[in-house]
Structure 1
C-alpha cells in the first residue's frame, strides 16, 4: 500500500521496515512536498485502504472510530549521514 501511494505521488521508497508499533521509511521526494504533507497522505490513505479491506477485523479492535495510526510522527533529513548508513539502520529495526 505504501509503495503504491508513493508511486502515485512520485516519491521513491528507498527502504522501509515495520516494527510492532511503528514504521521506518527512507523516502526520496521532490522539495515541492513538505514532510507533513507526505506523512498526512500516507496515514490517511493507508488507513482508508486498510478499513476497506479489513473492516470486520478492525471493527473488533477500533470500535469507537476508524483510526489506524497514532497522531505523532518523527522525521529527519539524512544530513551528514550517508544514505547507506540510514538504509542499514532501517534494515536492522524490528529484529
Structure 2
C-alpha cells in the first residue's frame, strides 16, 4: 500500500522528520509490516508498506497516527506546544492510501524519491 500522511500545513517535519521516520520503523517492527520506502517532506510523509491483510489499511493508518502523535509529543512537547495551544495533535484528519496492484513497486519508489 502507498500512504501519504499530512501535517496541518505546518512545516514541522523539517525539524522532526528523522524522529517521525524512526517511530514509523518502530511501529512497523512491532506490528509486523514492512516499510519498503519512506520519504519525509516539509509537511507530509510518504510510505510504501508491505503488510498482510490481517489489518485493514484504515487500522494501519490510525495506529501510525496515534502512536507517532503520542511519542512525538513525549519527545518534543516544548517545541510542539508552541504550534498547538489547545490539543495534542500532530497529523491532519485525512490521508491518501492506495494499493499498488496495477503499478510496479519501482514506479512508486521512484515517485517518492522525486518528491524531495
Gaps in structure 1 of 5+ consecutive residues: none
Which residue matches 1:44? Answer: 66
Gaps in structure 2 of 5+ consecutive residues: 1-22
Partner-residue secondary structure (3-state), 1:70 = strand
Distance 2:51 2:58 in 1: 12
Shift of 1:57: 1.1
**TM-score, normalised on structure 1?**
0.95
Structure with greater strand share of residues: 2
Distance 1:91 1:33 in 2: 27
Partner-residue secondary structure (3-state), 2:102 = coil
Partner-residue secondary structure (3-state), 2:48 = strand
Distance 1:32 1:74 in 2: 20
- Of the three residues 86, 92, 95, the one matched with 2:114 is 92
Shift of 1:47: 0.4
Hey, which bits of structure 1, 4+ residues long, moved more than 3 A?
Answer: none
Root mean square deviation, CA, Å: 0.7
User: Larger Rg: 1 or 2?
Assistant: 1
